[in-house]
């Protein structure tokens, strides 16, 4: 069994790492505290082609393998997890369009999205429906060659910067089961009635906005129904969330790596009773725990990504990676804060930001309790095999 990156993947990681250390790490804490949007960093992401990592090459994208895809989110989150969110929702949307869109939709949208000329995200969650997406209330009523959309979406990343937004709606609210009446519409955000109504305050995950969107009689051409057939929206969205969980697992590994690096560096530099605190066994045990859990999370994450590259369904594998890596990020950020003592609670050090960013990883792309049920169902059905 080979647990190493290919030479190409290693070179890609090295390039990402240099970019993060040069462009993100020096400004992350200051820009996060001030609420400054990372415009310059976004331009660098665009220049590197990272808005096209899930877009096929024929449309101008990079079409990265899933291991390299996951590397992007690990390395950027090591510098600032909020920046990874800008890419995450965009590339998830591109993946859904590339996989499920009509030829016309792909040709019209993907070249601009891959180049970063257009931006996008995903409009799924509503104030009364998160995990239970079949409970959404947003509707799209057919009116000739258009749909008339009404509803509210919340926690939408990239909302203020999106040019087109896939939005999950009910095209037939009377159908049972509900998912048979759900569709994804590719909504032009300049359409009358489409409004970003407010930004949501957050504990962490700053650098990118999370917004509530109001849709009032928004008219959407029938040609902007993703895939051209009604009733496929939930399946299309869920298929995207499968790779989205690799994204979250990668981000979690990046947060954990940053916590470990900070804790190790501080333990060597900080002295107590005339000695570096790294000399004390209590600190050594914490470092050993963080490092061991980090390595386990990383191996599980790239195992899941490699299974996706092999063409397999990875509901269980991605669920395991997301679950374990996100819990590891939470634990590691707290233990790193304890190693720092009072300074870990200070905004002058990176640890308090990691501690605020980590909990979202246990919530995004399906809560960890949902991940556990996904894993269990795969095991019980026989589709997931361990051993």
Strand partners, 199: 211
Residue of 32, 230, 242, 365 with catalytic role: 365
Calpha distance 149→133 (Å, rounded): 17
The residue behind tokens 């994804």 is: 184
Calpha distance 203→360 (Å, rounded): 9
* DSSP per-residue codes, 265-330: HHHHH-EETTEEGGGSHHHHHHHHHHHHHHHHHHHHHHHHHHHHHTT---HHHHHHHHHHHHHHHH
Residue 236 burial by Cβ neighbours in a 10 Å radius (0-12, 13-18, 19+): buried
The residue behind tokens 């601009």 is: 112
Element containing residue 14 per DSSP (H, E): helix 7-19
Given a contact cutoff of 8 angstroms between Cβ atoms, the answer to whether 78 and 258 are in contact is: yes
Calpha distance 318→58 (Å, rounded): 27
Given a contact cutoff of 8 angstroms between Cβ atoms, the answer to whether 194 and 215 are in contact is: yes
Whether 8 sits among the annotated catalytic residues: the reply is no
Given a contact cutoff of 8 angstroms between Cβ atoms, the answer to whether 352 and 344 are in contact is: yes
Q: What is the DSSP letter of 172?
A: -
What is the set of active-site residues? 365
């Amino acid at each position: 069994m080979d647990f190493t990156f290919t030479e190409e993947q290693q070179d890609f990681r090295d390039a990402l790492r240099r970019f993060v250390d040069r462009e993100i790490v020096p400004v992350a804490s200051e820009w996060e505290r001030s609420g400054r949007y990372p415009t310059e960093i976004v331009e660098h992401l665009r220049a590197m082609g990272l808005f096209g990592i899930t877009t096929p090459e024929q449309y101008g994208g990079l079409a990265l393998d899933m291991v390299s895809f996951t590397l992007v989110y690990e390395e950027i989150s090591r510098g600032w997890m909020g920046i990874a969110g800008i890419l995450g929702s965009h590339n998830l949307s591109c993946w859904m369009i590339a996989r499920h869109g009509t030829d016309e939709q792909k040709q019209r949208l993907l070249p601009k999205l891959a180049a970063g000329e257009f931006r996008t995200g995903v409009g799924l969650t509503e104030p009364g429906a998160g995990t239970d997406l079949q409970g959404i209330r947003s509707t799209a009523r057919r009116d000739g060659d258009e749909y008339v959309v009404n509803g509210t979406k919340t926690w939408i990343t990239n909302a203020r910067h999106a040019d087109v937004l896939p939005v999950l709606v009910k095209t037939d609210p009377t159908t049972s089961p509900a998912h048979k009446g759900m569709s994804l519409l590719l909504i032009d955000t300049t359409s009358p009635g489409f409004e970003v109504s407010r930004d949501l305050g957050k504990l962490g995950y700053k650098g990118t906005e999370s917004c509530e969107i109001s849709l009032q009689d928004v008219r959407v051409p029938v040609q902007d129904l993703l895939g051209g057939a009604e009733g496929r929206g939930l399946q299309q969205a869920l298929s995207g969330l499968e790779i989205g969980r690799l994204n979250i697992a990668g981000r979690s590994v990046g947060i954990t790596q940053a916590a470990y690096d900070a804790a190790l560096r501080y333990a060597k530099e900080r002295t107590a009773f005339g000695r570096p605190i790294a000399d004390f066994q209590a600190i050594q045990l914490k470092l050993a725990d963080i490092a061991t859990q980090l390595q386990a999370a990383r191996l599980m994450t790239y195992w899941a990504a490699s299974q996706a590259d092999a063409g397999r369904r990875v509901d269980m594998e991605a669920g395991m990676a997301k679950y374990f890596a996100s819990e590891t990020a939470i634990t590691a950020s707290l233990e790193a804060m304890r190693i720092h003592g009072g300074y870990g609670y200070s905004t002058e050090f990176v640890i308090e930001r990691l501690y605020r960013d980590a909990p979202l990883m246990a919530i995004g792309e399906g809560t960890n309790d949902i991940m556990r049920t996904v894993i269990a169902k795969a095991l019980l059905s026989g589709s997931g095999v361990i051993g």
